[in-house]
Chains A and B, each alone.
Chain A
Amino acid sequence: MLVIRPARGWTALNLRDLWIYRELVYFLTWRDIKVRYKQAFLGVAWAILQPLLTMVIFSVIMGYLLKVPTDNGVPYPVFSFVALLPWQLFAGALQRAGTSLVGNSNLITKVYFPRLVIPFSAVAAGLIDFCLAFLVLLGLMFYYHRQITVNLLWLPLLVVLALMTALAVGLWLSALNVQYRDVQHMIPFIVQAWFYASPVVYSSSIIPSAKWRLVFALNPMAGVIQGFRWALLGTQAPDASLAVSTAVVLVLLVTGLYFFKRMERTFADIV
């Protein structure tokens, strides 16, 4: 028996409901992926071209002109591409998740389903692009004669960490965006600032002192990117910083879930 009554204050997360609606998460993700490259001449090739072209620009400006140092003398193109993959996965997921509720307002006002389905599927929708770009990365590593080690097995965990970060922040932003459309104007700035705070075009070893490195690690993406470089290129392993990153993500995620749940009941009325 289902009981509907006014909810007040903080409510239980009821993640079981989300599990029951897992097929909807799948279908909405599938829709996002299907629609993204419809009526584009190059179609899904954009999933590869975007990181590839970005890498070329970075290599010319950062690597060739500014001579940004890499770790262990790794060639700049592969150095930046390894970081670009998790970064673009994260940035895309964050952008989509942040505007997801408003973008799906037609569903929210007409059908019931756990609203968490929407940001979850928005985050998941970047995975196919990531996998395609990853194939390019393998080609690039082969080209630069980089060895693939068992450390590769850590990548799925790092990907999950990146997605959890995007989801955690996305939950906050999407719920706020329902009421304050300022958020969607803020998101590009947030992403840009976050980009510079993450070691995508530079190496995290340029952070001067251990104290600052800890502050730096508060950014979960710093840990993720450092982890990617370590797993694929054998650079400095992420130490305690990854633990700090994970802790930050978990705090953001749990608070984000509760905040989202609290805001959820007014979505249909104010979106």
Chain B
Amino acid sequence: MHPAGMLPNVGHGSRPTNFKMGSRVTFMSEIAIHAENLSKRYRIGALTQRHDTLRDQLVDWGAQVTTRLTRRSNNGSGDNECSAEDAVNEVWALKDVSFEVQQGQVLGIIGRNGAGKSTLLKVLSRITDPTEGMVQIRGRVGSLLEVGTGFHPELTGRENIYLNGAILGMKRAEIERKFDEIVSFSEVEQFIDTPVKRYSSGMYLRLAFAVAAHLEPEILVVDEVLAVGDAEFQRKCLGKMGDVAQQGRTVLFVSHNMSAILRLTQETIVLEKGKLVLRAPSPEAVDYYLSAGHAKAGERFWDLDEAPAGAAPFRPIALRLRDSRGQVVDTVRSAEPFTIEMEYSLTASVTGLRVGFYLNTTRGEAVFTSFDTDDPSLFESHTSRPAGRYISKCAIPADTLNQGRYSLGVNASSYHIKRYFEEEQALDFTVDTAGAPGMQWSEPRQGVIRPRLEWKIEKTHER
């Protein structure tokens, strides 16, 4: 079959639309992506005990022959057992996902880690084949699953622009035409002839994103590439993404950043364990995701496959909220103390580890940040944590928070060395102000804190 997708300008967006005079203008917009029952299966066995060596394969063949022989002698009684074992070793990263994207639409994709977002993008950008189902794509697809793919540290900025551009699917002439624009966007003009291994990580990212931002496919598929860089750079990237969206290109945008999703997309799909559970206008989808994924009775568990690969040796286990009686709760009372605990394990000893959380309101206002080794004496006594299972507990005193919804983010890092794990919205909870000061009036109080302050009322003058 002719790979029409590879030709430039196969999009039909510019074709004049026919409509009858006098009748209502019905604009049948073209479908850019049509996915039907898309499924992708991974064999976990193939990951953990895959046949990296011929010896393993030979051993496995031997084992298969043996089981086949024993099964035959047992008259096939082992069959069920065997298929059950196969099923355990399989994971459907995507299961029966069907959706359509109109030309020019910007569609958000959200879901927890391991929900299948990246797999979906990989299938759509032809990096990996689906196991079942099909996708029809109209237009040239450009995918940005990471910034700086193929950057070579030994090559200069200039050389990497050409290399990376070519890898992302740009023609040489196109790169030449946009070269100056890319360089000025990246703000590394001075160092353009320096090998990128001498760049700071910020410069490296800016250059990498600059190339990516100048990719002009008809369909752009973007994974969480904006989650890198400093805040200012992120703003710039979001701005650029916004421009792309304005230009009427079809964009699929995966992010954990809900404000970016709300800002850039009109519609969003929510994935859960490989299944498409909701497609809705973005505000609705974000609400659904935030309430379904997180606020589960004051406790958040991380499955083994949810922890990012880069987190090792840190592995998050659970984040939970306990009231003053030790019960796990979703709603805490402002007038009573409560505890936030983070349970995790270390597969190797870690030096300088600090585990802590960000407390924000669900509207995004920062309340405070705290780490378990903030206290200098704890900091001294825990310079290195050996492998093992831990719980870091933080007591929040009574009369701290005002009523409302709050969100806890988790951070486990060694300062200036490595951020092992971070999740910005790990657990949401509610604060109830029953018994808090001022409750004799039913009016809501402004502000995020609800301190019990000492007032004195002095009479200074007799009348």
Contacts and interface: CB of A to CB of B under 8 A. Distances in A.
Nearest to B223: A110
A38 B195 CA distance: 10
A270 B150 contact: no
B411 to A, nearest CB: 27
Interface residues of B, number: 51
A27 interface: yes
Contacts of B1: 3
A24 B1 CA distance: 22
A24 B149 CA distance: 14
Contacts of B154: 34-35, 38-39
Contacts of B123: 4
A2 interface: yes
A108 B125 CA distance: 12
12 contacts: A3-B136, A7-B129, A27-B167, A28-B166, A31-B163, A35-B155, A38-B155, A111-B125, A111-B149, A112-B127, A265-B128, A265-B129
B131 A6 contact: yes
Contacts of B389: none
Interface of A: 1-7, 14, 16-17, 20, 23-24, 26-28, 30-31, 34-35, 38-39, 106-113, 179-182, 265-266, 268-270
Nearest to A32: B152
Given A5-B130, A20-B6, A180 B166 contact: no
A27 B163 contact: yes
A35 B196 CA distance: 13
A14 B3 CA distance: 9
Interface string B9-53: 000000000000000000000000000000000100010001111
B61 to A, nearest CB: 13
B86 interface: no
B229 interface: no
B134 interface: yes
A105 to B, nearest CB: 11
Given A1-B137, A2-B137, A180-B52, A268 B130 contact: no
B336 interface: no
B94 to A, nearest CB: 12
B4 interface: yes
Given A1-B4, A23-B171, A270-B50, A110 B127 contact: yes
A50 B198 CA distance: 30
A28 B126 CA distance: 20
Contacts of A1: 4-5, 136-138
A111 B223 CA distance: 12
B122 A268 contact: yes
A213 B42 CA distance: 50
Interface in B74-129: 122-129
Contacts, number: 123
Contacts of B136: 1-4
Contacts of B155: 31, 34-35, 38
A146 to B, nearest CB: 39
B284 interface: no
B130 A6 contact: yes
Nearest to B132: A6
B332 interface: no
Contacts of A270: 46, 50
B178 interface: no
Contacts of B46: 269-270
Given A4-B135, A7-B129, A180-B53, A111 B6 contact: no
B143 interface: yes
- Select the residue from B138, B146, B167, B172 with max chain A CB neighbours within 10 A: B167
B162 interface: yes
B128 A180 contact: no
A110 B3 contact: no
B128 A269 contact: yes
B260 interface: no
Nearest to B119: A269
A110 B145 contact: yes
A231 B134 CA distance: 54
Contacts of A16: 2-3
Contact of B52 (A3, A31, A181, A269): A181
Nearest to B46: A270
A113 B167 CA distance: 8
B57 interface: yes
B224 interface: no
Given A1-B4, A27-B166, A112-B127, A107 B135 contact: no
A8 to B, nearest CB: 10
B51 A112 contact: no
A112 B131 contact: no
B124 to A, nearest CB: 8
A4 B137 contact: yes
B134 A180 contact: no
Nearest to A179: B51
B169 interface: yes
B54 interface: yes
A24 B3 CA distance: 17
Contacts of B4: 1-2
Given A107-B167, A113-B169, A179-B52, A4 B130 contact: yes
B168 interface: yes
A24 B166 CA distance: 6
Contact of A112 (B42, B138, B143, B159): B143
Contacts of B125: 111-112
Contact of A111 (B3, B131, B132, B167): B167
Contacts of A110: 127, 145-146, 149
Contacts of A24: 166-167
A34 B159 contact: yes
B159 A182 contact: no
B133 interface: yes
Nearest to B151: A106
B197 to A, nearest CB: 10
A16 B7 CA distance: 12
Nearest to B31: A1
Nearest to A107: B150
Nearest to B130: A6
B269 to A, nearest CB: 18
A111 B145 contact: yes
Contacts of B169: 111, 113
B42 A5 contact: no
B172 A23 contact: yes
User: Which 5 residue pairs across A and B have the least CB separation, nearest first?
Assistant: A2-B5, A5-B134, A27-B166, A112-B126, A265-B129
